[in-house]
Amino acid sequence: MELTEAIRRRRMVRSFAADPIDRDVVDGILRAALRAPSAGNTRGVAWLVLEGAETAAYWEHATDEAWRAAYERYPGMSRAPVVALSLCSPTAYVERYGEPDKVTSGLGPADAGGGGEATWPVPYWWGDAAFSTMLVLLGATAAGLGAAFLGAFRGEAALLEDLGVPGGWRLFGAVLLGRPDGHDRPSPSLGRAPDAGAGAVHRSRW
């Protein structure tokens, strides 16, 4: 599939068939995603893939019983056979920007004369995680799969500890992957901006 076609066709899917996905397909999507831009070539983004019964750990920590009972889309979302967690390491970026070719940024660790993580005006780790996540969403579309991105709103620390993620890594969000089951309904949010691109591009001045 051409890139422009994947961009045009990409949408969030919230109702999946439980059929497993070939691991080679998932691995191919993630290999491509790891070619996303990386500030300072830090490579501080990683993915943790949960498949089949393993996905229960994500739902257990990232949601609560009341939400699962009340949210009508939950059954369809929870059938996704793959939950891929997008992770990033702020420490890796801080340390990278303390190296000789980046130290003048002042964003490295304190022992390198920098201000550390708190001084970053725009944390590059979140941007790099977003770049990689976008490639997963597009790669899923190109592979004929459905995908949905879910933000990290609760349970991050417990989830990462449960999954053995080393300290210092943060959860950017999760991508559900699977085959659409045909029962999804358009999100009400789609009605907010019929012409999403209108007025969003400016030249010379705002």
* pLDDT single digits (tens) 160-175: 999 999 999 999 999 9
**Model confidence over 98-156: pLDDT tens digits?**
999 999 999 999 888 888 899 999 999 999 999 999 999 999 999 999 999 999 999 99
* Helix or strand holding residue 157 (H, E): helix 156-162
Which residues are registered as beta bridge partners of 177?
82, 147
Q: Is the pTM value of this prediction over 0.75?
A: yes
Per-residue pLDDT averaged across 74-89, rounded?
98
- DSSP-assigned letter for residue 46: E
Sheet holding 146-151, edge to edge: 45-51, 82-88, 170-178, 146-151
CB 93 within 8 A of CB 44: yes
SS percent in the chain: helix, strand, coil, step 5: 45, 15, 40
pLDDT in tens, 33-48: 999 999 999 999 999 9
User: Which two structure tokens, joined as six digits, stand for 69?
Assistant: 């009972």
